Amino acid sequence: MSEHPAGPSISAFFPAYNDWATIASQVLLVSRTLRELCDDWEVIVVNDGSADHTGAVLKELTELAPNVRVVTHPKNRGYGGALRSGFEAATKDWIFYTDGDAQYDVTELRLLWEARQGADMVNGYKISRSDPLHRIVVGRLYHRLVRLAFWLQSRDVDCDFRLVRRSVFDRIRLTRDSGLICVELVTKVEKSGFAVRYIPVHHYHRLHGRSQFFNLKRVGQVALGLGRLWWELIVERRIQT
């Protein structure tokens, strides 16, 4: 698990869907943080078929910042599809990702980076969830259900603030295009025996847009997808590539 002799390197990426109001600040803040952590870094934004001004904002960012790359999906592929594109596009030893909606403080990447020694994945967990009450309740129930069903040690399955060694993806392959990719990732990492460390991070109210998950219309789809994933990973034990 040693790092490259030339020193550590990191790719940071954001999946973005209609995040024009927040994505620029996310990119700039993470760039400043990365410059303080190492010399070899890059920032990637996966524009997942946004219908707002996200594309125009990203075009200007890439013209101003040479370390920023954009992966564009002509059509929306879903959260999992955006994450898979980000992981595939990353070229550095470590991969950090979080959402483009600014509900996490990207400068807290420093906390994960400082805790990476001896770990294959450093996963944040929310100190306190800053969401409407119904989302907090549903989120807690979902986390407990998933943790029990998939026999997980994770303190926060749904905390999308993660730092992962790129070499992890030499052994596991992600397949989901929906938000269930988070369960798939955590389960495959744990069941493959990778070392995981958990670090508390702050979570903030959404400043722009709305969540794509946990609405009533998707409950049936999530339940069905979760059942299929459980059968695949727990019953059939299809964990590694």
* Domain assignment present for 124: yes
* Domain assignment present for 240: no
Q: In one letter, which amino acid is 65?
A: A
Give the CATH number, domain containing residue 34.
Answer: 3.90.550.10
* Domain assignment present for 108: yes
Q: Write out the residue range of the structural domain in which residue 59 sits.
A: 9-235
What pLDDT, on a 0 to 100 scale, did the predictor assign at position 217? Answer: 67
* Domain assignment present for 41: yes
* Domain assignment present for 68: yes
Given a cut of 80, whether residue 57 has pLDDT beyond it is yes
Give pLDDT tens digits for 184-232.
999 999 999 999 999 999 998 776 555 555 556 677 888 999 999 999 9
Give pLDDT tens digits for 135-187.
777 778 889 999 999 999 999 998 999 999 999 999 999 999 999 999 999 99
> Which residue, chain included where needed, has tokens 């999992």?
80
* Domain assignment present for 83: yes
CA gap 111, 90 in Å, rounded: 21
* Domain assignment present for 94: yes
Look at the chain and report how many structural domains it folds into.
Answer: 1
* Domain assignment present for 206: yes
CA gap 190, 201 in Å, rounded: 21
**Average predicted confidence (pLDDT) for the chain:** 92
